[in-house]
Amino acid sequence: MAFNTDLGKHRKKLERNGYLHLEKVLSNDFIQSLNSCGSQIIASELDEIAEWHIPGKKRQYLYDFSTQSFFDAFREGLSGIIGKLAEEIIISERHIKVYLTEAADFPVPHKDRHAAEFTIGFPIYIPQDSRVCFFPFMSRNENTEQRAVYAEMPDDTKMERFYADDRIVKIKGTVGDMFIFHGSTVFHERIMPAGCMILYIKVNTARQDPLGEHASMMEDFNKRSEVLEVA
Ligand SMILES: [Fe+2]
């Protein structure tokens, strides 16, 4: 079991708003897996994905769903809230992000790559002042590129002042929660991110796997089941 509740009851609200924060919806197994990843990262036992290191912003690690049955339960749980069959859900990204101490406090908002039809964040550790921000008043045009795009702003924009706008939705969240949003259509960003540790799973139902992270996961599951059969 990945979630402790039927996420499907929140689908309409997600569609209406484009983003959603759900509190205390993860199963104990899922929380344990997140905490264990967090401990391994702190103890330097997990390998960083070197090509995804963004200097001055964050380190990234590949999240392992550990077993196919846990992954199946995860997809089944998401199926209700995104309104698509579980088998159609492709994991285009499964990264644990650790924000560096030098990461900017008030970055320019962005949209995720096209393959992030839905982006789902699972907090592992969130420092006191950090917030994920959504911008419901900004353009909801879909980003059709396979790279993140950033909001265009005048060069002299005072970013801290920009973030004082009351229309910006700011969410803290804690381990056990999730936030889900249309990553490629809704502008979003994290403020005061230094020290944050978050699992980001990005999914789509258009068979897009630009980083090969769904394919590599399925290969791993196949290898493990072959080992079990031989044993
Ligand atoms: Fe993003």
Band of residue 230 on the pLDDT scale cut at 50, 70, 90: low
Q: Which of 111, 188, 92 is nearest to 149 (CA)?
A: 111
pLDDT digits 0-9 by tens, 31-48: 999 999 999 998 887 778
Residue 112 CA to ligand 1 centre (angstroms): 5
Q: What is the reported pLDDT for 220?
A: 92
pTM of structure: 0.94
Instruction: Work out the average pLDDT over 165-194.
Output: 97
Structure tokens at 41: 């990262």
Q: In the chain, what are the domain boundaries?
A: 7-216
Q: What is the reported pLDDT for 228?
A: 67
Residue 225 CA to ligand 1 centre (angstroms): 34
Q: What is the reported pLDDT for 231?
A: 60
> How far is residue 66's CA from residue 59's CA, in Å, rounded to a whole number?
21
Band of residue 55 on the pLDDT scale cut at 50, 70, 90: confident
10 Å CB burial of residue 141 (0-12, 13-18, 19+) is: exposed
Q: Return the half-sphere exposure (C-beta side, CA atoms, 13 A cut-off) of residue 159.
A: 14
Running DSSP on this structure, what letter comes out for residue 177? B
Q: Which of 71, 68, 87, 76 is nearest to 227 (CA)?
A: 68
Percentage of the residues of the chain whose pLDDT score is greater than 70: 98
Residue 206 CA to ligand 1 centre (angstroms): 19
| Spatial strand order in the sheet of 149-150 | 149-150, 110-111, 188-191, 131-134, 169-171
Residue 220 CA to ligand 1 centre (angstroms): 26
Q: What is the mean pLDDT of the chain?
A: 94
Residue 146 CA to ligand 1 centre (angstroms): 12
Q: Residue 142: is its pLDDT beyond 90?
A: yes
Q: What does each C-alpha distance from 87 to 77, 79, 84, 204 come to in angstroms?
A: 12, 9, 8, 11
Residue for token pair 């056990």 = 176
> How far is residue 1's CA from residue 45's CA, in Å, rounded to a whole number?
26
- For 7-216, which CATH superfamily applies? q2cbj1_9rhob like domain (2.60.120.620)
Structure tokens at 59: 């380190």
